[in-house]
Amino acid sequence: MSDGEPVAGVTSLGEEIYVLRRKRVDAVEVYDVISYRLLRCLTVPNSRGFSDMTSCANLLCLYISDQWVECIHRLDLHGNAEQWPVSDAPDCLSVNANHNLIVTCYEVRKIKEISPRGELLRDVILPDDVTHPWHAIQLTSGQFIVCHGFTDDRVHRVCKISSDGRHVVQSHGGQPGSDTGQYDGPIHLAVDDNEFVFVSDCRNRRVTLLSPTLEYVRQVVPRDQLKWRPVRLCLDVQRRRLYVADYKLTAGRVVVFSV
């Protein structure tokens, strides 16, 4: 997809790709999955500051996190919208096997599980050493894959965390850096059907692939294939395509890779 306003999220649903731009009107751009032709745009009402977007194939809807309003916007594919309060600033989003929304709140080290009706099902408080968690994806086992680490944090890594949030089961990373096995701002994740993990390593400008036990496999997207920084990922498992939101403060685009 071509350059435009900065991209805050990308997701795919059926035969369409949805790109969330940081703008008030026509924020969600809808593209054809084959031709990448722009089909239509959707406006998110009463929005102020987008953080991420995901989709639910079962319910045919989009979820968009809004840090400033501390809410989730739920849109159907025609643009009809609901707004759910979150109480904490939401960051990145995913949907679990039960079709519940998983919301990561990095300032308070929480994962919130929300039903398709907007009801808070539970708060999962993460271990003390998981500082500034950006994104969480729940596996079919109930465990979570979580990436964490902000600019001045001593640890930047990807963790597998127990379903109750109390224990780190496995991890990859440590002191921030650019070597293999290190991260500098692991900010977003994607997980395939075999539980291989794609990690957006923001300031290193690359996407790393980890095994289901969080061992290093390879660089999926090296820095020379990006113009700016990879901030959001979406994996189309059926087509084996990885959509990467390539971001800078004044512009953004989505780059598509075969995986």
If pLDDT is split at 50, 70 and 90, which confidence band does 78 have? confident
- Per-residue pLDDT, 152: 87
pLDDT, one tens digit per residue, over 23-35 is 888 899 999 999 9
Whether the Cβ atoms of residue 85 and residue 145 lie closer than 8 Å to each other: no
pLDDT digits (tens, 9 = 90+) for 108-140: 999 999 999 999 999 999 999 999 999 999 999
Give residue for tokens 């994740």. Answer: 189
Closest CA to 148 of 161, 136, 157: 157
pLDDT at 253: 94
Is 157 within 8 Å of 183 (Cβ atoms)? yes
The C-alpha R_g of the chain, in whole angstroms, comes to 17
Residues 6+ apart with CB under 8 A from 183: 147, 149, 156, 157, 158, 173, 176, 177, 199, 201, 204, 208
The answer on pLDDT for 48 being more than 90 is no
- Considering the chain, what is the average pLDDT of its residues? 95
Contact at 8 Å (CB) between 72 and 88? no
Per-residue pLDDT tens over the stretch 166-194: 999 999 999 999 998 999 999 999 999 99
Q: If pLDDT is split at 50, 70 and 90, which confidence band does 199 have?
A: very high
Say what the pLDDT of residue 17 is. 97
Chain centroid to CA 52: 6
Instruction: Provide mean pLDDT across the span 139-154.
Output: 95
- Report the Cα 227 to chain-centroid distance in Å: 20
Cα gap 41→217, rounded to integer Å = 38
CA separation for the pair 4, 21 (Å, rounded): 8
What pLDDT sits at residue 195? 96
User: What is the DSSP pairing of strand 110-114 with strand 101-105?
Assistant: antiparallel
User: Percent of the chain having pLDDT more than 70?
Assistant: 99
Per-residue pLDDT, 163: 95
Q: How far is CA 155 from CA 48, 74, 151, 208, in A?
A: 31, 34, 10, 17
Position 3 pLDDT exceeds 80: no
